[in-house]
Amino acid sequence: MIRIAAVGDVHFGTGSAGSLRPALAHLADRADLMLIAGDLTRCGGPEEVRVLAEELEGLPVPRVAVLGNHDYHADKESQVRRILEDSGIRVLEGEAVTLDVDGVRVGIAGTKGFGGGYRGACGTDFGEPEMKAFVAHTRKMADRLERALSTLDADLRIALMHYSPVEETLQGERLEIFPFLGSYLLAEAVDNVGADLILHGHAHHGREKGVTPAGIPVRNVAQPVIRHAYSVYTLDSKRVLSAAS
């Protein structure tokens, strides 16, 4: 059994020190790895992410993250990423990593993702350059995610993103803002190559559970949704290993 601790949208600011660490005291007893689904900071300031990096420092499980829209606000996302990676947190953007967890190869592909909407009610790359750029950005994120997932040679595959791939986990949000909360292109990318679990954040008023059209479980781990420091999801590694053999 592989145990995944996941959380998104912790939105750390310079005054957040000590707000998360006490709740991570038993993390190593409960999880094999920790995944963070973006919006690590309030406005993408290096001084904010340093507070979070210190909060997560020394945790005895591998940590993998993607950035969210808040982490881009100060236009210092490269610095934010470097600070996280210097503290041992692997950051993915259109990239993948494989971890060995007790002999099980756990592959994680990640991207921030972006918006655009969902089947039957989505933006298209038509008209003004601004609209084309909006949709092109989502397509680029989705294409890179699909490529990253497809390169994984792993027993379990997880897609980690900030924006939501499905509408189901947005229920509770106002319908008018769905196009700013995610895109079906992210779900299509994962469905094309397959995965065992998709984790995302961003939708603070959404709900936790959803599924893609191909049947891949989706979990919205935005902290305001899960209302805890993290959620734990277990995936049956024996089933996967058996299937692989």
Partner 1 sequence: MTLGRDEYLAEHVRDSLIHDPRVNEQDVLVRIKERRVFLGGNVSTRELREAISVVARELLPDYEIVNETTLVPAVEPEDEERVQ
Q: Identify the residue whose tokens are 């959620």.
A: 231
Task: Give the shortest CB-16-to-partner 1 separation in angstroms.
Answer: 6
CB closer to partner 1 out of 13 and 143: 13
User: What whole-number distance in Å separates Cα of residue 159 and Cα of residue 199?
Assistant: 6
Distances (CA, A) of 13 to 53, 174, 224: 12, 27, 16
Find out whether 156 and 196 touch, Cβ atoms under 8 Å.
Answer: yes
Angle (CA) 70-83-21 rounded to 5° is 75
Task: Give the shortest CB-124-to-partner 1 separation in angstroms.
Answer: 26
CB closer to partner 1 out of 227 and 245: 227
Task: Give the shortest CB-125-to-partner 1 separation in angstroms.
Answer: 26
Amino acid at 68: G
Find out whether 123 and 130 touch, Cβ atoms under 8 Å.
Answer: no
List the structure tokens of 133. 């750029």
Task: Give the shortest CB-41-to-partner 1 separation in angstroms.
Answer: 9
User: What whole-number distance in Å separates Cα of residue 183 and Cα of residue 141?
Assistant: 10
Distances (CA, A) of 78 to 10, 148, 217: 19, 20, 31
CB closer to partner 1 out of 42 and 144: 42
Task: Give the shortest CB-243-to-partner 1 separation in angstroms.
Answer: 14
Task: Give the shortest CB-82-to-partner 1 separation in angstroms.
Answer: 21
CB closer to partner 1 out of 20 and 104: 20
CB closer to partner 1 out of 139 and 205: 205
CB closer to partner 1 out of 19 and 150: 19
Distances (CA, A) of 142 to 27, 37, 178: 31, 16, 17
CB closer to partner 1 out of 27 and 135: 27
For 121, the enclosing helix (H) or strand (E) is strand 121-122
Positions that interact with partner 1 (CB under 8 A): 3, 10-11, 13, 15-16, 19-20, 23, 25-26, 30, 42-43, 70, 73, 196-197, 204-205, 217, 219, 223-224, 226-236
Task: Give the shortest CB-233-to-partner 1 separation in angstroms.
Answer: 5
Please choose, from the candidates 108, 96, 118, 112, the residue with its C-alpha nearest in 3D space to the C-alpha of residue 185: 118
